[in-house]
Structure 1
């Protein structure tokens, strides 16, 4: 197996911004009464109304990064490679997911939707398959189920060879786009979950394959694609997701790869903790709402302060989780697996 490919630090920074958008703009709107954040300006209102679309940026980034990390060093060639891939994904995702599931059991005790069936679904990372999706235990964790399915399809297709991978990629992108077009909506809903993942993840992987050609596209053209996709009204027949999944986010990824600012230390710090931010931020928000309720009567200063305090608390918890749960668990699992793999075979 060849050496690890260089880290795509600029995409890590972009992942941090996506996590910030989902957590501290879209989900922060619940801290205030209905309509308190409406300004009547589409640009200003977009983060609080459509910030959920940043999940689709996560999918596109994941597809590109996975192709870079595994196809870039030809690391998926055999069943043994598939096992190593699965262990690496387990070490990356499951420890914090499991801890947050236990936290959610305590934080949301008595919530009607948190049934034993929902707990089992979360335990085995099948939470996107129980109703109400995003309404049981850790809501944002639904996307983990979708990502896991995309990981499996990607890894098994890569092991079968380039032709199989091209076929799976084309089929996933076409199926995802067709289903989203058929059920075009201005809001996120459960029927969109897997189509969003298929489209975004495998489109990101296709962008990696075409990276040499796409590198010749001028920056102004990428900005024009982003602007056009963002300009398309979500009430059109294409819905809210397709313009961003097909135009805005792929162009943003390609443009972001050229921006050195995205690998500045604050954004890398944010990107490293993006997974923890994504899983943790709803707990402090919901506990505050259960204790105090929405921040009624808050003026502009109160709205800004509410966002800042919510972000600060969530970032602190995410940092602690990253340092004391994510990284130690990841090192422990990978070290145990490496030791097992090196163990000599005996009669």
Structure 2
């Protein structure tokens, strides 16, 4: 293992962030345990796992757009939204349909579902859902979708004015969303601020000057110390909630700490190695389906293992495994095929073919250079 920091050029050359799949795997599993293995899993503080997703999503989406701009001189909104639609909608609306069928067959909660259906259909899940459990956890998808609708527009506009404004505007956006502008916005802004923290991290790391500030964290030794400190912070979340008397300050500090640790997971070191292990990446790649269909998995787990009591570690394990089985099936049969459909639509209808550029002749004793996977998306 090399004991040095990662250079900015090496960071920009990364084509995939496997460790972030491992991070998403942890986030998804602790969320499932929070929902279905309490009181045993109370100490895991799994409720904060959704904000790990938010930091990672904000970081990855912004990094993709920044690199697209560097590569093409522009950011294609049409391509961005097509990718997001084919990534999010198929599994989301399938989950909604399955939930509706389950509610209808159970004979209870149908009127409540019909009342809330417009919110589900329009990704306004975080509003008016108190007291109705089925598909309630998808409020996070509603938050992310609205972030995707607005942030790319802001980034494109600011970039057109001046690249130097990107970081100040991101900082200002974080401050603005934390203001309680109305009763309906009350306590909503904290979630958007976490997505913006991930976006701010992407902007800082993309900038040579900003990267130099966080480069020490990419040293393996410093990264281990930072990761241990973050784990200790996670273990003391209940104490922090008691100290502040509210979740919002804890969520903000936790997410900010994660953003500071995250560069160490991108560079070679123990953290990246651990989170890039194949089982971790396997779960992380299926984390969307695992998270989305966890409620369905509870019903299946009850049929497959009726002897498992609620609120135990065993129930958390069983529900997680059943969720993962469902997610894996959907990953191969729906999620990846629909993502591929989106790519083909972009390639066929939205992306203009590049003008052929004559390649310079390679020296006789030198193999022709290959550009690699420069056009391939980062891990999402």
Q: Into which bin does the TM-score normalised by the smaller protein fall?
A: 0.7 to 0.9
Q: Deviations over 1:109-143 (max 9, x none)?
A: 2315643242222122222233328x354222111
- Name the CA distance, whole Å, in 2 between partners of 1:282 and 1:198: 25
Q: What RMSD in Å do the two structures reach over aligned CA positions?
A: 3.4
CA contact (8 A) 2:286 2:327 kept: yes
1:167 CA drift (Å): 4.5
Partner SS state of residue 130, structure 1: coil
Residue 89 of structure 2 corresponds to: 94
CA contact (8 A) 1:4 1:73 kept: no
Select the residue among 126, 129, 134 that pairs with 1:128.
126
Partner SS state of residue 244, structure 2: coil
1:177 CA drift (Å): 4.7
1:223 and 1:306, CA in 2 relative to 1: closer, same or farther beyond 3 A?
closer
Higher mean displacement: 84-93 or 164-173? 164-173
CA contact (8 A) 1:226 1:252 kept: no
CA contact (8 A) 1:59 1:201 kept: yes
Establish whether residue 266 from structure 1 lines up as the match of residue 266 from structure 2.
no
CA contact (8 A) 1:53 1:244 kept: yes
Establish whether residue 53 from structure 1 lines up as the match of residue 48 from structure 2.
yes
List alignment gaps of at least 5 residues for structure 1.
38-43, 184-188
Select the residue among 7, 17, 31 that pairs with 1:22.
31
Residue 148 of structure 2 corresponds to: 151
- Name the CA distance, whole Å, in 1 between partners of 2:126 and 2:259: 24
1:310 and 1:292, CA in 2 relative to 1: closer, same or farther beyond 3 A?
closer
Establish whether residue 199 from structure 1 lines up as the match of residue 215 from structure 2.
no
Residue 236 of structure 1 corresponds to: 243
1:177 and 1:289, CA in 2 relative to 1: closer, same or farther beyond 3 A?
farther
1:152 and 1:165, CA in 2 relative to 1: closer, same or farther beyond 3 A?
farther
The alignment of Structure 1 onto Structure 2 pairs a total of residues equal to 314
CA contact (8 A) 2:103 2:110 kept: no
- Name the CA distance, whole Å, in 1 between partners of 2:214 and 2:35: 34
Q: Deviations over 1:327-346 (max 9, x none)?
A: 111212331343223699xx
TM-score normalized with structure 1 length: 0.78
CA contact (8 A) 2:308 2:314 kept: no
Partner SS state of residue 119, structure 1: helix
1:165 and 1:272, CA in 2 relative to 1: closer, same or farther beyond 3 A?
same
1:268 CA drift (Å): 0.9
Q: Deviations over 1:305-344 (max 9, x none)?
A: 3333222211111100111110111212331343223699
Q: Deviations over 1:151-192 (max 9, x none)?
A: 22220011111355435422332244555xxx9xxxxx9943
- Name the CA distance, whole Å, in 2 between partners of 1:74 and 1:238: 43
CA contact (8 A) 2:293 2:327 kept: yes
1:210 and 1:285, CA in 2 relative to 1: closer, same or farther beyond 3 A?
same
1:295 and 1:105, CA in 2 relative to 1: closer, same or farther beyond 3 A?
same
CA contact (8 A) 1:177 1:242 kept: no
1:238 CA drift (Å): 6.1
List alignment gaps of at least 5 residues for structure 2.
1-11, 206-210, 354-380
CA contact (8 A) 2:95 2:292 kept: yes
Establish whether residue 336 from structure 1 lines up as the match of residue 345 from structure 2.
yes
Q: Deviations over 1:181-234 (max 9, x none)?
A: xx9xxxxx9943x32322211111212233322121333256436535753521
TM-score normalized with structure 2 length: 0.72
- Name the CA distance, whole Å, in 1 between partners of 2:93 and 2:322: 21
1:294 and 1:242, CA in 2 relative to 1: closer, same or farther beyond 3 A?
farther
Residue 215 of structure 1 corresponds to: 215
- Name the CA distance, whole Å, in 1 between partners of 2:280 and 2:303: 32
